[in-house]
């Protein structure tokens, strides 16, 4: 025979579990976006052509 939790305790545990799970997902998304931005070069360098740049 299985033991049943009181209804108030089961509901609180479910809410706490959902909050912890959503916080973990948010942290994983933030980590992934920071890592992706870190690997992307900020700005490409100039193309070395050997000629002086012309300015107007």
pLDDT band at 10 (very low <50, low <70, confident <90, very high): confident
> Distance (Å, rounded) from C-alpha 52 to C-alpha 43?
20
pLDDT digits (tens, 9 = 90+) for 15-45: 888 888 999 999 998 888 877 766 666 666 6
Q: CA 47 → CA 43, 51, 53, 55, distances in Å?
A: 12, 10, 11, 16
| Angle at the Cα of 50 from the Cα atoms of 49 and 53, rounded to 5 degrees | 80
> Distance (Å, rounded) from C-alpha 36 to C-alpha 18?
27
The pTM of the full predicted model, rounded to 2 decimals, is 0.45
> Distance (Å, rounded) from C-alpha 11 to C-alpha 4?
12
pLDDT band at 12 (very low <50, low <70, confident <90, very high): confident
The residue with greater pLDDT, 48 or 23, is 23
């Amino acid at each position: 025979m299985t033991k049943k939790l009181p209804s108030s305790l089961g509901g609180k545990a479910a809410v706490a579990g959902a909050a912890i799970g959503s916080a973990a997902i948010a942290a994983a998304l933030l980590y992934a976006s920071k890592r992706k931005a870190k690997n992307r070069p900020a700005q490409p360098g100039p193309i070395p052509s050997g000629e002086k740049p012309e300015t107007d």
